[in-house]
C-alpha cells in the first residue's frame, strides 16, 4: 500500500484563491488582474530557491508544492495568497491518480 501524498489534517493553511482576468487597458492591449474566487484549505510545502536573471537585474524565486482538495478546481495560472505572500500556480495535476487531491507546483517571487 502506498503512502498518501497528503492527509486531510495537513490542509492547515487557509489561502485566498484567485483566478486571472484580462481587461482592455485603453491603449489597444490588455491588463491582467486577479479576482478572488474564495478560500481554500491547503497543505503548503517549501521547495527550492534560486536566483533568476530578470532584464538587467536579478530576482529571487522560491518554488512550493501546494496540495488542495481535487474538487476545488485549481488550474494552472491561478494564484493563491497567504497574507502578503502570493503563489502563482504553474502546474496543477493529480499526482497519485487517487482523485482526492490536486498538487500545484507554484512560484513565489521574493
Question: pLDDT tens for residues 42-80?
Answer: 999 999 988 877 788 888 889 999 999 988 889 999 999
Burial zone of 93 (CB within 10 Å; 0-12 exposed, 13-18 middle, 19+ buried): exposed
- Distance separating alpha carbons of residues 4 and 100, to the nearest angstrom: 10
Residue 24, pLDDT > 80, answer yes
- Say which range, 17-21, 29-33, 77-81, has the weakest mean pLDDT: 29-33
> How high does pLDDT run on average in the chain?
87
59 vs 104 pLDDT, higher one: 104
User: Percentage of residues in the chain with pLDDT exceeding 70?
Assistant: 92
Cell 494564484 identifies what position?
A: 79
pTM of the model: 0.81
Query: Residue 9 carries which DSSP code?
Result: G
- H-run or E-run covering 35: strand 30-54
Amino acid at each position: 500500500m502506498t503512502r498518501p501524498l497528503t492527509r486531510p489534517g495537513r490542509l492547515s493553511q487557509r489561502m485566498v484563491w484567485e483566478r486571472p482576468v484580462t481587461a482592455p487597458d485603453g491603449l489597444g492591449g490588455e491588463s491582467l488582474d486577479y479576482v478572488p474566487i474564495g478560500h481554500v484549505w491547503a497543505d503548503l510545502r517549501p521547495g527550492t530557491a534560486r536566483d533568476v536573471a530578470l532584464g538587467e537585474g536579478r530576482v529571487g524565486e522560491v518554488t512550493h508544492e501546494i496540495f488542495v482538495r481535487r474538487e476545488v478546481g485549481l488550474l494552472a495560472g491561478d494564484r493563491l495568497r497567504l497574507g502578503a505572500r502570493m503563489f502563482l500556480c504553474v502546474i496543477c495535476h493529480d499526482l497519485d491518480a487517487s482523485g482526492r487531491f490536486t498538487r500545484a507546483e507554484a512560484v513565489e517571487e521574493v
